[in-house]
Chains A and B, each alone.
Chain A
């Protein structure tokens, strides 16, 4: 019964998401495109944090690298969109392998500091290497060509791009979900709860952590590849630690203990940002206050709090 209700809700949400461009204005199409991309970005972060228990403060590095890879390919090589996305994923996977190799060996505190520092290293490179990255202005002025697979799609049309994003995010989310549910995902959860015990069971914790970190980074690269054509620019801001703060906040806001938590957090985040920035410039201040309140009082996030409340009511 419970799963049937859940399935019905999920189906309704998906149907609603598909219908957005037909029932709402471009303003909402843009908002939902952003929610989908950032939702997957936050979910990729949550594989590392919520599942494996490693709090990364440098997730924007993979997001930004994906965006830069996409922009560079569209400017210089004009490859089809899908192929460029694969390159975005490959570039961030490689970067995640290097940063992960140096960071996952040490405990949580070190991991947090190292991911922040290495994330800012990537930011520094994008900022200083003007001949390739165009420095602080970032890369702009690229146009989307063909989609790939012989499909004839006008990607420049926001509605079409929204549906493309919806399709790709849906497929990627299913893959990510299957990874989380697999025995590999279960092992990651076990590592979060008790690394020593997993280690004594004969598993190499470090390798598992590195693989989780690389998978999370790869999916973040995919979302970066999606965001560049959406924003029409790949700029150093996408690599800055304030960008790394966003998936952290989304995951905490939605609930780190659930696969769908980060998506709900991303929706709440984007809607809040849209509302709050019309009143005040101090978005980061509001962000800080929300994060502090969530961490202190609602550590299970919106989803977790609602589910707990629901269980309480049913009793």
Chain B
């Protein structure tokens, strides 16, 4: 029994972390109508900035959790104003190509700045132990990830459904011209949403840093996982991102424990199954070619 409890908690922390990242991808898609291929690279940048702040500048983890995402947000604003502004009015293919180019640039820059070796970030002292839960010992840090994930989930729901900013974002997602006509500065909304998505990716990166080793391939891994999440859940759907992330979390949590020899394949099998029966994802609607 204890194995199942641990696997469940493990699934939950992987799932909520994936949700934070995938929901950023989803929000950007919803408003800007582009799939940000560089989203995983921004996540990786968050983790590496946290590594630099903690291990090289000697800051506490909490300061890194606050500061590293801000650094990534600044980069995201620059990306939006310098590069992406050219392609918002163009064909979808151009935005895919351009964010892909940005992914190549960030990946190689990370390799140049931090090297291709592996780096490790220690969790803060307060969270480095483990506790007894559901009959097995669980890392305190993984409970922390679950708590932060749930807080962000609640915060995002509140933002979208109960605040003016959320309403503006949803209006811009539904009909940008109409929003413009209602005196909403959509340029600002677009930049803001891109920066906010990047912030979520970077927060995910900082949170992931103490759980996973940092290497220049970590961004690629997470972007593919995020794609699987949004395909399973349905592109552009907020509950879809949560469901997709939790399903993928379960696949990892249990697959890694009980089917280690094929665990790399399982997420793809899950995605293919969903595609066969629900081509638009579990919560998705109309995306026919």
Contact between B29 and A106, CB atoms less than 8 A apart: no
Contact between B268 and A124, CB atoms less than 8 A apart: yes
Which of B98-106, B152-160, B239-247 lies on the face that meets chain A? B98-106
Contact between A108 and B93, CB atoms less than 8 A apart: yes
Q: Which of A109, A116, A291 has the most CB of B within 10 A?
A: A109
Q: Which of B23-52 contact A (CB under 8 A)?
A: 29, 35, 37
Contacts of B98 in A (CB 8 A): 291-292, 295-296
For A292, give its contact among B93, B96, B105 (CB under 8 Å): B105
- C-alpha gap A206/B288 in the complex (Å): 10
Q: Per-position contact with B for A76-119: 1 when CB-CB < 8 Å, else 0?
A: 00000000000000000000000000101111111111101110
Known: A110-B231, A113-B230, A296-B98. A288 touches B108 (CB 8 A): yes
Contacts of B220 in A (CB 8 A): 120, 241
B65 at interface by CB-CB < 8 Å: no
Contact between A284 and B107, CB atoms less than 8 A apart: yes
A79 to chain B, nearest CB (A): 29
For A106, give its contact among B92, B102, B276, B279 (CB under 8 Å): B279
Contacts of B107 in A (CB 8 A): 284
A237 to chain B, nearest CB (A): 12
Contact between B94 and A288, CB atoms less than 8 A apart: no
Q: Per-position contact with A for B66-88: 1 when CB-CB < 8 Å, else 0?
A: 00000000000000000100110
B142 to chain A, nearest CB (A): 25
Contact between B287 and A117, CB atoms less than 8 A apart: no
B207 to chain A, nearest CB (A): 23
Q: Per-position contact with B for A261-301: 1 when CB-CB < 8 Å, else 0?
A: 00000000000000000000111110111011001100100
A252 at interface by CB-CB < 8 Å: yes
Contact between B104 and A106, CB atoms less than 8 A apart: no
Contacts of B29 in A (CB 8 A): 109
For A125, give its contact among B92, B228, B265 (CB under 8 Å): B265
Contacts of B96 in A (CB 8 A): 55, 57, 108-109, 112
Q: Output the nearest chain B residue to A284 by Cβ-Cβ distance.
A: B108
- C-alpha gap A281/B115 in the complex (Å): 12
- C-alpha gap A125/B93 in the complex (Å): 28
Contact between B101 and A106, CB atoms less than 8 A apart: no
- How many pairs of residues, A versus B, come closer than 8 Å at their CB atoms? 122
Contacts of B133 in A (CB 8 A): none
- C-alpha gap A57/B92 in the complex (Å): 14
Contacts of A121 in B (CB 8 A): 265, 268
A245 at interface by CB-CB < 8 Å: yes
- C-alpha gap A96/B35 in the complex (Å): 23
Contact between B92 and A108, CB atoms less than 8 A apart: yes
Q: Output the nearest chain A residue to B38 by Cβ-Cβ distance.
A: A288
Contacts of A107 in B (CB 8 A): 287-289
A38 to chain B, nearest CB (A): 17
A127 at interface by CB-CB < 8 Å: yes
Contacts of A209 in B (CB 8 A): 289
A95 to chain B, nearest CB (A): 13
For A205, give its contact among B37, B101, B227, B289 (CB under 8 Å): B289
A21 at interface by CB-CB < 8 Å: no
Contact between B268 and A288, CB atoms less than 8 A apart: no
For A114, give its contact among B87, B93, B231 (CB under 8 Å): B231
- C-alpha gap A104/B93 in the complex (Å): 15
Known: A55-B93, A112-B35, A113-B231. A282 touches B289 (CB 8 A): no
Contacts of B86 in A (CB 8 A): 296
Contacts of B288 in A (CB 8 A): 105-107
- C-alpha gap A284/B219 in the complex (Å): 15
For A282, give its contact among B93, B112, B272 (CB under 8 Å): B112
Q: Output the nearest chain B residue to A99 by Cβ-Cβ distance.
A: B272
Contact between A292 and B102, CB atoms less than 8 A apart: yes
A53 at interface by CB-CB < 8 Å: yes
Q: Which of A157-184 contact B (CB under 8 A)?
A: none
Interface residues in chain B, defined as those with a beta carbon under 8 Å from any beta carbon in chain A: 29, 35, 37, 83, 86-87, 92-94, 96-98, 100-105, 107-109, 111-112, 220, 224, 227-228, 230-231, 235, 261-262, 264-265, 268, 271-272, 275-276, 279-280, 287-289
Residue pairs across A and B with Cβ atoms less than 8 A apart, 20 shown, are A55-B93, A106-B287, A108-B92, A109-B35, A110-B231, A113-B35, A116-B224, A117-B224, A117-B268, A118-B268, A121-B268, A282-B111, A284-B105, A285-B105, A288-B102, A289-B105, A292-B102, A295-B94, A295-B97, A295-B101
